[in-house]
Structure 1
Amino acid sequence: MTAEPHELLVQKPGFFQSEDWWAVWLGLLIVALGAGQAAGVDLLGWVAKYNVWSDIGKAVAPNSKEFAFLGGFGSMLATYLFLLILTTAGAYFMGSSVKRFVAGFTILYWVTVAANTAGNFAYLAATPNNLEKFGIGWSLGLGELGFVIALVLGLIIGNFFPKAAAFLSTAAKPEWYIKTGIVILGMTIAIKTVGAMGLASTVIFRGICAVVEAYLIYWPVVYIIARKFFKFTPEWAAPMASGISICGVAAAIATGSAIRARAIVPTVLSSVIIVFVAVELLILPWIATTFFADDPLVAGAWMGLAVKSDGGAIASGAITDSLIRAKALAEYGVNYQEGWTLMAATTAKVFIDVFIGIWAFVLAVVWSVYQIGTKRSEGKSYKVSFREIGDRFPKFLIGFLVVFGGVFLWGITNPDIVKAAGAGAGQANLLRSIFFGLCFFSIGLITNVRKLWAEGLGRIVGVYALALFGFILWVGLGISYLFYHGILPPVVAS
């Protein structure tokens, strides 16, 4: 069984050399620019806004009237150049080939733009209350469909055009894009928290409780399944249990580092996780919408607990948020405020990521004290460096917490700026959506289903499938229902 080293395994821990830290820097910069609204300065008005459309000429426009002179294409071009400069700087410091990154990112961006535009076609995305506005008699009401289109395009290229996928691989960095988006999302969540303190604090507190309860159940069960029924060694079973039960790639890598597993272990597990995430993205949001349109936060928390990657969980939360709002409006006449279902998913995922660091520390201590592992070449017990565990802690969480805490305190102590800061958060959120789209397309590009089977990963897939469909989905749903049932998002006044 062979595999190429996963890029996260070879990241350097420096402030300007890892995806995590660059997610922090990019996210903080974009949030700072958005916050200019509170000072009366429009620094992001040129960012492209993608509208639901029946006339293609109205599909894209600058988000601020002050920049209307740019037109739709001008705003897309300005957004492209802005993101290209920022991401290329990050790629350079992280050691990527600048030429290959620029070429790859250019294609990723414009494909994402095309997918986003197609997904906003009125017959696909218009909500029931806007049908007359677009002069149409029906619509599927599938908001955020652009993400799914980007994912499908990525899967097609990744599995049927390997040379093209290899060319784009330098720029296909799903974890970096989604983590940057999560840092930016901290601003939106903070503004929502200030505006609805009681509900927001309930969502956050229950999210913490749900995460702790879920993963004290998930991890030992997956570990036992891997060890007892599929006969994996502890070196494989521990990262597998973390990757399947906690948070996918990041958890598998952190655990592998903590117990000093060979690099191939989290590398191979990451490949399997990515495939399952792609499958979950295509299925779970629609299942959640079908059965929990009247319980949106249950659906959102379920996405956070069930989908095993930061990108997949947050993206599935965004899709579910849009689908449920459209269905609730069409069937119940209830217009839920945007973002609360996504907030439930994000809250669960953020605290899951915090749990990664804690759990890696616990496993490092257990493996060292009880000498569960041995160095593969020497047969001796080992001790784990706490610094190494710290290096594996997801740094983008620092960015999220800084943004959330800073904007929250700013809004609480200066209520007059909340409205303007909310407008700035909306502008930053447009860039967050682009990062999410880039993540979706990248996930598809790096998901090579045929290669996994060719490398003989049947047993790992067996553990994952049994754990995910056998109990993780249903335990996660039960816990989400237990903590979030009956808690509804605010309703937008007609």
Structure 2
Amino acid sequence: MSQEGRVSNGSPLLRLEDWWAVWLGGFIFLLGLGPIFGTDLLGWAVKTNIWTDLSKALAPQSKEVAISGIASLFYTYLFLVIVTSIGAAAMGWNLKRYIGGFTIIFFLTYASWVAGHYAYIAATKDKLEKLGISWSLGLSGEMGFIVAMLIGLFIGNFCLGLSKYLQEAAKPEWFIKTGIVILGAAVGIKAVSALDLASTVIIRGLCAVVEAYLIYWPVVYVISRKWFKMTPEWAAPLASGISICGVSAAIATGGAIKARPQVPIILSAVIIVFVAVELLILPWMAQAFLYQEPMVAGAWMGLAVKSDGGAIASGAITDALIRAKALEVMGVKWEEGWMLMAATTTKLFIDIFIGVWAFILAVIWSVYRIDKKGGGQKGEKVSAMEIWERFPKFVFGFAATFLILLVVGLASPDLVKPAKEGAESANTLRGIFFALTFFTIGLVTNVRKLWAEGMGKIVLVYAVCLFGFILWVGLFISWLFYRGITPPVVG
């Protein structure tokens, strides 16, 4: 539903899911500002660790909070069921059914999230020694999203009685838009941190924005539309997912153009799988061919790997592999962390503009009335009020949380550390909202219908675009701006 949660009367500010995503995400963001004023208001929120011992999988976000992981999980559930129920009541939903359904959805989702963090599934190669294991699939904790979606798909397609009962609380668009609003804070405080990095790296990181948005995106979109005959509803989120920032960009774009919620989520599942493939291949390619150009290798990871966690993990692996080879082959011992910094900074500057790009696409889709099947009425006059009504309000929430923390960090550098702590606590809840989205998408998705719409094309388009030109254009851009730059030499 694009105007979900509508009731017969009352202000749109209180009856639409789009606005309630802003209010709920904004409320969590405000709580996250607590450390700035000396009070951690979200330290009790549960976080999930990559684990080999299940008893150590859960813990409160803050080490200063003296409660168990199980207690932290219960408090998190209690908080979320209360705040979301306020919105559900305002939007006129059946509150009793919503609370019952949300309770089941929350605990099934969190069990899926924990399962996805099992070390032999989630640990990236740079974490194996710390965890005391010799191998892992290296899929990162984001595999929990896929587990949640698979369980949701099973219930939605085979346990029809349970699925029907859960429908009142299966609100994937509300969950994901709320998560995107919270995400703005994490990106904003990261942007402040990036300003303290070496200016040379930052300038080159900005070039990644031009590449990702003005080169990658239109090429992927045209290939999807012209070669594979995909509708705009699929092509736009796919272009964002492949060319920009994986899961977050695909979801933000889907919301901006009012695609059905299952579209960006299914795309996100494909993205996560391809990220795992890239993690297995790219760092070792960089070690083999780019050990003399370490900063090129680092920036390439940031441009090529389409998820934040994956890009940072690949940067860390590349940093370790290339430093080891440079010492062995050239006798040079480079300072640790510079390749990782290049990867992280490049990815950060791409992330910063997700909201801007979503805003641009929302305006284009509104003005030209581009629909799900591909039609648009170019040239027809569209009123400002209609553009406003069609525009996704959660984009304003993302922009607000981003700008507030950016301004706070720039104006008062001494507040960056507490602001970062608060943003991380809020971002923990953002991860739960994302996981709830994946589960509920599975719950409301008809697999046969989705496959009939061209699910098979998605994997093919992704493979063609990623291995056909995105990796190599990214490598060229990285070489163009970073060649000859090396980390400081130790000793």
- Structures share fold, TM-score greater than 0.5: yes
What secondary structure is seen at the aligned counterpart in 2 of 1:8?
Answer: coil
Equivalent of 2:213, from 211, 214, 235?
A: 211
Q: CA RMSD in A?
A: 4.1
The sequence identity of aligned pairs, in percent, is 35
CA contact (8 A) 2:305 2:311 kept: no
Match status 1:346 vs 2:351: yes
Could you give the per-residue CA deviations for residues 188-220 of structure 1, whole angstroms, max 9, x where no partner exists?
222222122145675456325531334444555
Q: Secondary structure at the match of 2:435?
A: helix
Aligned partners of 1:38, 1:153: CA distance in 2, in Å?
39
Q: Is the 8 A contact 1:190 1:405 kept in 2?
A: yes
The residue aligned with 1:388 is 386
Is this contact kept in 2: 1:254–1:389, CA < 8 A? no
Structure 1's unaligned 5+ residue stretches are 1-6, 231-235, 257-265, 305-316, 366-370, 375-380
How far apart in 1 are the matches of 2:349 and 2:107? 30
Q: How many residues align?
A: 437
Identify the match of residue 415 of structure 1 among 401, 410, 413: 413
Which runs of 5 or more structure 2 residues have no equivalent in the other structure? 241-248, 287-296, 325-335
Question: 1:189/1:245 Cα in 2 relative to 1: closer, same or farther (>3 Å)?
Answer: closer
**Residue deviations 1:450-489 (CA, integer Å, cap 9, x gap):** 1346xxx45x66876776555587455555555556779x
Question: Which amino acid is the alignment partner of residue 207 of structure 1?
Answer: V
2:271 paired with 1:277: no
Q: Return the alpha-carbon distance in structure 2 between the equivalents of residues 17 and 303 of structure 1.
A: 39
Residue type of the alignment partner of 1:360: W
Which of 77, 93, 96 lines up with 2:93 in the alignment?
Answer: 96
Displacement of 1:113 in angstroms is 1.7
| Aligned residue number for residue 276 of structure 2 | 286
Please name the residue that 2:310 is paired with. 320
Match in the other structure for 1:43: 41
SS of the residue 2:100 aligns to: helix
The change in CA–CA distance for 1:412 and 1:245 in structure 2 (over 3 A counts) is closer
Q: Which secondary structure state, in structure 2, belongs to the residue aligned with residue 61 of structure 1? A: strand
The partner residue of 2:2 within 8, 12, 30 is 8
Distance in 2 separating the partners of 1:164 and 1:202: 52
| Aligned-pair CA distance for 1:415 | 0.9
Residue of structure 1 equivalent to 2:365? 360
For the residue of structure 2 that corresponds to 1:15, the secondary structure is: helix
* Native 8 Å contact 1:193 1:408 kept in 2: yes
d(CA) in 2 for partners of 1:91, 1:420 = 32
1:193–1:201 CA contact under 8 A, matched in 2: no
- Provide Cα deviations, 1:7-39, integer angstroms capped at 9, x if missing partner: 125565922233332222222222221211011
Whether 1:81 and 2:74 are equivalent positions in the alignment is: no
**Deviation by residue 1:256-289 (Cα, 9 ceiling, x = unmatched):** 8xxxxxxxxx66xx66x35851651453212332
1:123 correspondence with 2:125 = no
State the one-letter code of the partner of 1:103.
G
- Aligned positions of 1:22-421 closer than 5 A: 22-68=20-66, 70-126=67-123, 131=128, 134-144=131-141, 145-197=143-195, 198=199, 199=201, 203=205, 206-208=208-210, 210-219=212-221, 222-224=224-226, 242=236, 245=239, 273=263, 276-277=266-267, 280-293=270-283, 294=286, 295=297, 298=300, 301=303, 317-321=307-311, 324=314, 327-328=317-318, 331=321, 336=340, 343=348, 346-347=351-352, 349-361=354-366, 363-364=368-369, 383-421=381-419
1:252 and 1:55 map into 2 onto residues whose CA distance is: 37
Per the TM alignment, residue 330 of structure 1 is displaced from its structure 2 partner at its CA by 7.1
Name the SS of the counterpart of 2:168 in structure 1.
Answer: coil
Contact 2:187/2:352 (8 A) holds in 1: no
Are 1:446 and 2:441 counterparts? no
What secondary structure, in the 3-state scheme, does the structure 2 residue paired with 1:80 have?
Answer: helix
Change (3 A) 1:11 1:248: farther
Closer, same or farther: CA 447–54 of 1 in aligned 2, 3 Å: same
Are the aligned partners of 2:208 and 2:346 in contact in 1 as well (CA < 8 Å)?
Answer: no
Distance 1:25 1:435 in 2: 14
